[in-house]
Structure 1
Amino acid sequence: MSEQVFTVDALKRILLEGAGADESVDLDGDVLDTSFEDLGYESLALLETGGRIEREYGISLPDDVFGEHPTPRALVAAINALLQDAVAA
């Protein structure tokens, strides 16, 4: 199995494809440490985002992944840890 890396750019793409973006939010700006809630993403949008990540990367996300990792930086790190664990298994 080849090692995959989940990037901030991949997260931004998936967020935009699945839920769009609030017109007042510039995802190309400095948003790494901004909560998803402050970026305008509510639970339904995050569920869609999580499902898209699972399908695209072939992993299963914990139910509380967005609660435990409420910013793009934290989520990207968590997903990369899951991907690394999947390769090691």
Structure 2
Amino acid sequence: MAAKEFTLDDLKRILREGAGADESVDLDGDILDTDFEELGYESLALLETGGRIEREFGITLDDDVLTDARTPRALIAAVNALLGAGAAA
């Protein structure tokens, strides 16, 4: 069975569910390389997002992952790396 992949759509859904969306930001636009702060998500919102990702995908994110991943692209890559590591185990 193939491991589930974490996608941009998953991230947008989790961001909206956990922290809402700033009315001035279009999450449906090209946001992959936009800094989370520019998208209106500060550290507390990202911690909530990380917790939701962990519960939904059955992984554990180090605190460094959430602080180092400044963009959606970086966070998606980090989550998928963990999902891939879990599938290989």
TM-score normalized with structure 2 length: 0.95
**What's the CA shift string for 1:30-72, capped at 9, x where partnerless?**
1110011110001111111000000000000011112211100
Q: SS where residue 54 of structure 2 aligns? A: helix
Q: SS where residue 64 of structure 1 aligns? A: helix
| C-alpha RMSD over aligned residues | 1.0
Residue ranges of structure 1 left out of the alignment (5+ in a row): none
**What's the CA shift string for 1:62-89, capped at 9, x where partnerless?**
1111221110011101100000001111
Q: Distance in 1 between matches of 2:27 and 2:72?
A: 10
Matched, 1:33 2:3: no
**Count of matched residue positions in the alignment of Structure 1 and Structure 2:** 89
Q: How does 1:2-81 map to 2 (within 5 A)?
A: 2-81=2-81
TM-score normalized with structure 1 length: 0.95
How far did residue 2 of structure 1 move? 4.2
**Ranges of 4+ aligned residues in structure 1 off by more than 2 Å:** none
Q: Distance in 2 between matches of 1:66 and 1:25?
A: 20
Percent sequence identity over aligned pairs: 73
Residue ranges of structure 2 left out of the alignment (5+ in a row): none
